Amino acid sequence: MNSLAKASTLSSENISVWFGQRQVLSDVNLVFPANKVTALIGPSGCGKSTFIRTLNRMHELIPGAGLAGSVYLDGKDIYAEDFDAVSVRIKIGMVFQKPNPFPTMTIRDNILSGLRLSGRKIENGDEVVETSLRRASIWNEVKDRLNDQAISLSGGQQQRLCIARSLAMNPQVLLMDEPCSALDPGSTRRIEETIQELSSSMTIVIVTHNMQQAQRVSDQTAFFLADDNTPGGVVEFGATEQIFNGPIDQRTNDYVNGHFG
């Protein structure tokens, strides 16, 4: 595993976000240290999914999207003029809420699709496929049918395939936007295990609705909240232990104890 890229520190500085004229996030400052898992929690519509999309420049794909502030990857602003979106996304991988394997490709081709899509030469493709699938703990389930269509897999397997697909690119940071929300408890548990194994080699940011999940997988937690008709923002940010067991802010306390949201 020493061929893997080193995990990086990611941080956001004064991030504000707009859709058209409507501001949806205000002044988010967070630091995601290397090899740590950070959970972003909060009620629906508080802007956490929007925020995670600013971290690898997926946000700008939405028409009318606006942004202020900076995101630093190892000290370099990913929104700087000389940093193109493609190389940002190669370094910072992303797993989406719904599993989205490429339906026209086989399992194997899905894993290699990132390399092909970013125009890299594929050497020892078999090795990449095996390593990636192993790291996403799905190798044993699919090793005998690598040439089957990816959509023949179950939902949970599809999601782990998508994780493996991101891992094949060897990202320094992995962003996960509610990766388990469409999955059954068994698949969810396996993905949580995968996340913990992965954190030894990369920085992970995960958006989740599930308090238990945040507690199980993350080292630190940020609580997002948007009051009526105001942009969302971070209410409290700290070690997961502290956020769940001794939150400073009353609203955090209410939320993690299920009093609203």
Partner 1 sequence: MSESSVTKPAPVRRKLSAGPLSTGDKWFFRTTSIAANFAFVLVAFILIFLFIQALPALTSQGLPFVYGTEWNNQQDPIVMQIGPMIWGSLLIGAIGVVFATPLAVSLAYLIVFMLPSRLAKVATTLVDLLAALPSVIIGLWGLFVFSPVASEWGAILNKYLGWVPIFQVKSADNGFGGSPFIAGWIVAIMIVPIITSITREVFSQLDRDLINGALALGGSRFSTFRRVIFPTSAGAVVGGVLLGLGRALGETVAIFYVLQITFNINWGQILEPNGGAVASMILSKFGEATQEEVSGLIAAGLVLFILTLGINFIASIIVNRAQPWRKN
Partner 2 sequence: MSFAPRPAVQPWARVNTGRRIQILLASIVPILLTAAVILVTGLDRNVALMGVFLPLQLIAASAVGFRAFGRRGVGDAALIVFVVFFATFVLVLLASVVFSLVSQGAQAMSWGFFTQNNRYVSNTTSLEYGGVGHAIIGTLLVVGLTTVVTVPLGIAMAIYLTQSQSKTKGIIRTLTQAISGLPSVVAGLFILSIAITLDWQKSGFLGSMALLPLMLPTIARVAEEALRLVPVDLRYAALALGAPNYRAFFQVILPAAKSGLVTAILLGVARIIGETAPLILTVPINNGTSWNLFSGEIMTLPAYVYNYLGSAFVPSQNRAWGGALVLMILVAILFGATRILSRSKSLKSKPTKEKASK
Within 34-93, the residues that bind partner 1 by CB under 8 A are 59-60, 63, 65-69, 79-86
Q: CA 131, CA 209: separation in Å to the nearest integer?
A: 30
Query: Near partner 2 by CB under 8 A, which window of 43-51, 89-97, 236-244, 251-259?
Result: 89-97
- Judged by CB under 8 A, does residue 254 bind partner 1? no
- Judged by CB under 8 A, does residue 247 bind partner 1? no
Q: How do the residues of the chain divide into helix, strand and coil, expressed in percent and rounded to 5?
A: 35, 25, 40
Q: CA 180, CA 111: separation in Å to the nearest integer?
A: 20
- Judged by CB under 8 A, does residue 186 bind partner 2? no
Amino acid (one-letter) located at 131: T
- Judged by CB under 8 A, does residue 31 bind partner 1? no
Given CA atoms 232, 238, 240, 245 in this order, what sign does their dihedral have?
Answer: negative
Q: Which is nearer to partner 2, 164 or 256 (CB)?
A: 164
Within 45-84, the residues that bind partner 2 by CB under 8 A are 56, 58, 61, 63
Question: How many Cα neighbours within 13 Å face the side chain of 197?
Answer: 15
Smallest distance from the beta carbon of 216 to partner 2, in angstroms?
Answer: 25
Whether the Cβ atoms of residue 14 and residue 27 lie closer than 8 Å to each other: yes
- Judged by CB under 8 A, does residue 250 bind partner 1? no
- Judged by CB under 8 A, does residue 118 bind partner 2? yes
Assign 123 to helix, strand or coil: coil
Smallest distance from the beta carbon of 88 to partner 1, in angstroms?
Answer: 9
Q: Which is nearer to partner 2, 166 or 218 (CB)?
A: 166
Q: CA 191, CA 193: separation in Å to the nearest integer?
A: 5
Choose among partner 2, partner 1, none what residue 9 binds, the Cβ cut-off being 5 to 8 Å by kind.
none
Smallest distance from the beta carbon of 194 to partner 2, in angstroms?
Answer: 18
Phi and psi, residue 118, nearest 5°: -95, 10
Contacts of 214 (CB under 8 A, 6+ apart): 39, 41, 206, 208, 221, 240, 244
Residues that bind partner 1 (CB under 8 A): 14, 16, 18, 26-27, 29, 59-60, 63, 65-69, 79-86, 233-237
Binding residues vs partner 2 (CB under 8 A): 56, 58, 61, 63, 85-87, 89-90, 93-94, 96, 98, 100, 102-105, 113-114, 116-119, 151, 162, 165-166, 169
